[in-house]
Structure 1
Amino acid sequence: MTQQNLIWHPATITKKDRQKLNGHKSCALWLTGYSGSGKSTVANELDRQLHAMELQSYVLDGDNVRQGLNRDLGFSQNDRIENIRRVGEVAKLFVDSGVIVMTAFISPYQKDRNQVRELFDADEFFEIYIDCPLEVCETRDPKGLYQKARNGEICDFTGIDSPYEPPSSPDLTIDTVNFSVNEAAKEIVAFLKTENIF
């Protein structure tokens, strides 16, 4: 079946209907940064804080998604591009369902992040740069991946033998060197309030 044989089936219940039921707007928070920068940790703390506020939220984590939906993808440039494309489409579905979705993916290429942004309305997508220098991420090395990359046990590792392009103009920058996880999540909550998400 080709694309020309597909017709979008309109939903009876709209995104605005779901947002009204939830009592808040929905959006995608795209957390990007090096491995070990704190993306997943911050996303999960943010999820906890939003849940405590009785808001509908969910975390799409890079490692978790690669164990299911994207298990067929490796870490070549083309596979990374496809990984982000798929996650962008899934995040869009979450936003359509009325949920605040956080994505914790290295997503090293600015072009790919820009293409994901284009899937959303202007007030529904926020690129959040989890800013932590590579040398700090490497000292953290929570999964032991930097050491494996340095030892040549894994290749195409971001920051070692594969590039990372920091956001050129992120909607928000979070410093995970000088601020705690709790403080970082609170800063994002405050940002969401200024954007009138809730």
Structure 2
Amino acid sequence: MKIRNITIFCGARTGDDPIYEEQAYALGAMLAEKGIGVVFGGGAIGLMGAVADGALLKGGTVTGVIPKFLVEREMAHPDVQHMEIVETMHERKAKMEELGDAILTLPGGAGTLEEFFEIFTWGQIGLQKKPIGLLDVNHFFDTLTHLFEKLIAEGFLEEKYMGLLFISDDATEILKSFETFEPVEARTYDTSKRRP
């Protein structure tokens, strides 16, 4: 599939290790150099700001999506070409998913993980059919990967849905995987196991 725009979920903080901000900035720059637009949460701070700054420095196209109540708190990025102001966090997430051809999640806090998990869930039930990447900077997502293994082992997640995810510390490798992505069949439910 042709990737024209990538939606980036990431933190409004930079984290304690400089590698997180460095990698976010490098990602934005790399996407711009490849002619891929960045769709992000609109903030000028944290990893959000770093991704946008990296893309802008290389002449990339950047679209921010930010709720009105966070415009001042997350300092809406003043330099992006397109800024969509929405009312709610739900609208933000839905608009970001709509605008991207693929989704890439970087390190972040509870909000970033919430965004990732909802989009991953949408993929399982067929509400979206886009590939999802986890950029595993500094082994950030190792524990999450182990959690997926536990979910599969305990029967709460079908292994086939891991086909929605591409996990690597190399963004170029993830992009190559996105290009050959085939959507996974939507989840169905076995009603014969329903208790009487």
TM range (shorter): 0.3 to 0.5
TM-score, normalization by structure 1:
0.41
**TM-score normalised over the length of structure 2:** 0.41
> Highest relative contact order (Cα 8 Å, sep 6+), 1 or 2?
1
